[in-house]
A and B are shown apart, each in its own frame.
Chain A
């Protein structure tokens, strides 16, 4: 196969094959003039002796790792540079950012951008809201995901393929399209509010507004897909053994499969939390009534929009950094789990 392709390329570019080159060399006058009779033969093991071989390998290895590290370092610079720029921009004044000369380090380090961000919204309240919404919607998602993934991975039923295909197809529709209808839906669904009784619509009181930020996000087809792959890797023998032990499907799911898939579940937990942390459009819409119910990105964005005048890039970047750092810390702490869990995606069982 490879030989064929080389042949093809040689033909394509009019290159000469190794045999042709050897024949040409032999035909040349110099080759003819070599005195073979006066040559002496030196015998060696292989091309080189053992010491030479080891040295060559070592040199090759060093060069290889220099190239590897060089490449990684270069890519790291490219990856990190915008991030670095974000940090120094957050410490610059607007005049300096928009100035004619770009500086690699702020002329005057301006911490006031961060103070301004803290003043534009109640950071602590918003982070609190985000955690409540994030954690509850994540737990809900985990439950629905585990149940659905188990059904898809282990159980047989009519229409399984069809439903799974439809589920996957929903990933192909831009979510923006659903916002209007869903908003009208949550505005009309009934809700029981303590102290108020049954109310119509989820948009009037705090609990129900939080519910509207949580319940619609209890399903994620993406994570069902991810977890199903994971469940499928769990050997069938375990399932059969559990059956022999008289364990029900339910027990098997929670006692065997869930613990085995723990890394994936943890990474789903974190990825979903990141999603809540970054969600903006929907929370902005449903918390229209009261600003103190909003999530952290809404606060971030309110420091983006100034009704009049110049966009304050420094403040925007400071706000961005404030919301990015917690996520980064989360990743650093849970890196192992995320790597383990996410890595299984795409392995068909």
Chain B
């Protein structure tokens, strides 16, 4: 009696479940690629720009990952922007780290609570694109009323002096394995990698700074002979080392198009990883994975246990030491005539849940914070690279002074503005699974260098993980 009652209960619950499930949950229609790219060539934005642009009134939310100091700079920029556009109210909020912001936005998309604009990496945008939730920016950029180069009371904002690679990054998205033309993100806080070296020790020994990998490994041998207890070279990010080396050597890594994205499992790549393993065993170089427990090579560099280290320009201050002079140089290359250095740092993307006015307001705000002067200010305050070459000529950029850590930041900035470094930038294609690929090649480097896996095994595992994740 009791049993049967329970049974009825369970059955009715299941029945209820099914009814509710069928009635309310996700539609089970087949994935269809909604083609929303307008085939008309006329500008869709221009007709919607209000006549009285100055009194444009809207509320904009801006999600980012900035720390407290950078937020202070942003607040000043907002105040300045509101002098020209007093009715555009901008609230910004920090969402944690880059993974957190991607998470937050991925959840906000189905809930339709996306911000107006947000920090992004290309692979984040690749995640947002299938749901058509990001704004295609071409018509804003080319608008006759509010496009790049139109003053709008926002200072110099032409498109020509934006570093081409920076801009290009936002124009290489794919959807369902097919090219998805148009700009969906625009550059903002950009950084790259440089090599910091212990100038004091280099000068004492009369060593010259290596510019190619061959020179570097030769120098490592010399250093190891002179100072057996130090590790000559460090590369902070294993993934960047792998990807940059492949890019320099022309070794296939990934591709955004087609069905097979992951090309990294090839003999050339295996050969150079094998070679690197040899050097690691000799104690020539180290990395974050080899050091373990989240120890950055910059820590070891400032402790004088490393003599050269490649790290992000965003983390320049971590390489500063009062005990010795720090020199700045280019990342070693395979071929100096075709230099390649990674470009990283967040871009900004805009969301289609916003109204037309909000989009226009956000766009104007973007133009303002990236104008020549503000790019320079942003660079000086945060240590990121300015996205415009013209910013190098701004007084605030050129004439910055500082003591202690700031001297090194200035040294990096000077290096950026005087060299052709920004012509060397490359980006890897963004697609579903591109971040997995990055993660996997980084950890395959770690596994090989630490000796937990053979080269073949590490590559197979990495590929398997990428395929499974994608």
Contacts and interface: CB of A to CB of B under 8 A. Distances in A.
Contacts of B104: 284-285, 288
B182 to A, nearest CB: 27
A135 interface: no
A201 interface: yes
Interface residues on B, range: 35 or more
B235 to A, nearest CB: 15
A183 B104 CA distance: 10
A302 interface: yes
Contacts of A1: none
A201 B9 contact: no
Contact of A98 (B6, B93, B100, B299): B299
Contact of B111 (A166, A183, A291): A183
A308 B93 contact: no
B6 A161 contact: yes
B93 A289 contact: yes
B331 to A, nearest CB: 17
9 contacts: A99-B303, A119-B68, A162-B13, A166-B13, A184-B111, A305-B96, A309-B296, A309-B298, A309-B315
B318 A310 contact: yes
Interface in B49-77: 61, 63, 65-68
A184 B110 contact: yes
Contact of A159 (B9, B93, B296): B9
Given A94-B299, A310-B318, A285 B107 contact: yes
Nearest to A161: B6
Contacts, number: 89
B124 to A, nearest CB: 14
B294 interface: yes
Interface string B289-311: 00000111011001100000000
A112 to B, nearest CB: 14
B133 interface: no
Contacts of A309: 296, 298, 312, 314-315, 317-318
Interface in A200-239: 201, 203
A310 B93 contact: no
A180 B103 CA distance: 10
A294 B104 CA distance: 15
Contacts of A302: 94, 96
B96 A284 contact: yes
Contacts of A184: 107, 110-111
Max count, chain B CB within 10 A of own CB: residue among A161, A288, A305: A288
Contacts of B66: 307
A259 interface: no
A291 B294 contact: no
A255 interface: no
B299 A310 contact: yes
Contacts of B111: 183-184, 187-188, 201, 203
Contacts of B303: 95, 99
Contacts of B98: 307
